[in-house]
Amino acid sequence: MAVARQDQFNSMDYSDPMVNRILDAAEQCIHRFGIRRTALGEVARVGKLSRGSIYRYFDDKAALVQGVFWRRQEFYLNQTEAALVKLPTLVDKVTHSVVSGRKDMAQGIFASLAETEPETVAMMFLESKFYQRSVSFWPPHVRLAQEAGEISEAVDVAVATDFIMRLAVSLVTFPDMGLSLKSRKGIRAYLDQVITRGLG
């Protein structure tokens, strides 16, 4: 079993420089060639390390690829979270998440992989596992909004979190579902309606 084993409960050690060197090289290769066309020998060459070391830290190529995307997602999530804490309302927070979520998906490794291997990206986006980490960021924001009286205390935090995640994922994935929601202003007005008032 590899050292940097990662599962849903035990996340990777991003403080280990070796792990980061491997992931840096792997991300660079995936970014340039796509997943299918990156050989671990190439990753080793780019990272100036041995292929044996890669296998010491990751079970196999699939685990390495997953590690690359998890770290990248973690980075985006932390960046977004840092912006969220400065925003006053839950609606502002979800709006920001949607706008920056779209930006993140249109950049870097996600965007380049969407060009070379769109089916792979599509499969990732349809795995609910992909959103697990994001889900865990919302409950504190929901509770703050409840304490501030923005949303009702009667609503279960898990229900509110699920609802917010569904809205955010849907709006990032589909800019248009009948309505075209492209501008920050339009997204904010829409979210204000459906989150704070619903349709009732």
Partner DNA sequence: AAATGTACAAAAAATGATTATTGTTCATTG
Partner DNA sequence: CAATGAACAATAATCATTTTTTGTACATTT
Q: Which two tokens stand for residue 114?
A: 């969407």
Q: Which residues, numbered 69-108, are part of the site for a second copy (CB under 8 A)?
A: 90
CA 86/CA 67 separation, integer angstroms: 29
Classify 140 as helix, strand or coil.
helix
Quickly count helices (H) and strands (E) in the chain.
11, 0
Task: Indicate whether 41 belongs to the interface with DNA (CB under 7 A).
Answer: yes
Task: Indicate whether 62 belongs to the interface with a second copy (CB under 8 A).
Answer: no
Task: Indicate whether 186 belongs to the interface with DNA (CB under 7 A).
Answer: no
Shorter beta-carbon distance to DNA: residue 38 or 95? 38
Using CB under 7 A, pick the residue from 12, 27, 30, 38 that binds DNA: 38
197 binds, among a second copy, DNA, none (CB under 5 to 8 A by kind): a second copy
DSSP labels, 92-128: HHHHHHHHHHHHHHTSHHHHHHHHH-HHHHHHHHT-T
Task: Indicate whether 182 belongs to the interface with a second copy (CB under 8 A).
Answer: no
The contact set with DNA (CB under 7 A) reads 3, 18, 36-42, 48-53, 55-56, 59-62
